[in-house]
Amino acid sequence: MKPMNPIRFASPFVVFFLLWSVQAASGGLEDGRLDIYWVDVEGGAATLMVTPAGESILVDTGLPRLKHVKRIEEAILKTAKLKQLDHLIISHYDIDHHGGAAMLSRSVPVKTVYDNGKGFDGQVNDPGEEYFSFECDKRVVLNPGDTIPLKEVESSKESALLELKCIATRRTFIDPPKGAAKNETACASKPAMKDPDASENRNSMVLILKLGDFRFYNATDLTWNLEAKLVCPVDLVGPIDVYQTTHHGLDRSNNPLVLRTVRPTVAVMNNGKKKGTGPEMVTTLRSIDSIKAIYQAHKCVRSDGDKVNTGDELIANIDKDQAGNLIVLSVAPDGSSYRVTIPAKHYSREFKTWPK
């Protein structure tokens, strides 16, 4: 007897949902949306973005571990159905951010690499010759205020203006906008500074991705004291819809001063089973009344896991031995709304973008 086809015998609603879930996990030119994939590199970082014009941007490449690089490769070539990586951004030189780059370049053609360059003042880690010599078309040193050149969808009237901008890197920040008012309300309750950060994390990039009114914030691994400079004395960030928890959700980052200022609707944590989900950071997220949902790549299995974990339905990888499931965010072509999907769990939720 042939095995029963589950779609054939499902209700029309279930069929629609199953087909939509598959489409939601593969973006690009098919639907004209901006798609963001959080690839599970188990406590490293690999955030893939696919523009409405079908260009790909990857921020960081996780550790130099084959299983993690294979997950990034699969997200690019199979899930997003792309043939190359147009823009690779390495936010700083910690190995859990640059480690997989050379290995990935051997299976996915890389066009342009953006990073902090070689031997700058204050560089802590040297990623090594293999990193600086892997094959790509071009290498660019990214500076505060630089934007990544991205193609617009010229034929679509629905598609909003797209921008990916670096607002800080190497402990240097963009200049405040002319006439910008001081952020007095938030800065009046400025949290105490923490121990000065002498690690490579202080050189992390801060990136803002925009599509119309939609805003996505990724401060990579920037730490507490430097984060404060993003919003005090002047807010350099602006309102945010989606906040990627900084530094995998560790307590040494995620300054509440930033969160109280940018007031995101959604937070996404690229944590590991024991890395990230810091109790202070989780308390901060839960205190921000604008946040409607907190997503995690992994369920925390530390002894304090019950206190820090979000709801199971919002965690991509629940079981202790489970790994590799994506979190996917897809923005409408006009930037007016976005949906968050965990394809492996057939979960999705729609959010409205805040008018900016």
162 within some domain:
yes
How far is residue 218's CA from residue 91's CA, in Å, rounded to a whole number? 10
Of the candidates 278, 277, 144, the residue with the CA atom closest to the CA atom of residue 204: 144
**Residues 81 and 28 sit within 8 Å (Cβ to Cβ):** yes
Q: Which 8-state DSSP code applies to residue 75?
A: I
14 within some domain:
no
Domain count, the chain: 1
76 within some domain:
yes
Give CB contacts under 8 A, 24+ apart, made by 222-225.
222/168, 222/246, 222/247, 222/253, 223/194, 223/197, 223/199, 223/247, 223/252, 223/253, 224/193, 224/194, 224/197, 224/252, 224/253, 224/254, 224/255, 225/193, 225/194, 225/196, 225/197
13 within some domain:
no
15 within some domain:
no
**Of all helices (H) and strands (E), which one includes residue 23?**
helix 12-24
Tokens, residue 28: 């690009």
How far is residue 92's CA from residue 171's CA, in Å, rounded to a whole number? 11
22 within some domain:
no
Secondary structure class of 6 (helix, strand, coil): coil
Residues constituting the chain: 356
CATH of residue 70's domain is: 3.60.15.10
How far is residue 102's CA from residue 107's CA, in Å, rounded to a whole number? 10
- 197: amino acid identity, one letter: D
Find the domain containing 52 and state its range: 27-352
20 within some domain:
no
Of the candidates 50, 340, 165, the residue with the CA atom closest to the CA atom of residue 353: 340
How far is residue 206's CA from residue 89's CA, in Å, rounded to a whole number? 11
227 within some domain:
yes
Determine if the pTM surpasses 0.85: yes
> What does each of the 356 residues of the chain score in pLDDT, given as a tens digit?
434 444 343 444 444 444 444 444 544 455 789 999 999 999 999 999 999 999 999 999 999 999 999 999 999 999 999 999 999 999 999 999 999 999 999 999 999 999 999 999 999 999 999 999 999 999 999 999 999 999 988 766 677 899 999 999 999 999 998 888 899 988 998 999 999 999 999 999 999 999 999 999 999 999 999 999 999 999 999 999 999 999 999 999 999 999 999 999 999 999 999 999 999 999 999 999 999 999 999 999 999 999 999 999 999 999 988 999 999 999 999 999 999 999 999 999 999 999 88
- 87: amino acid identity, one letter: H
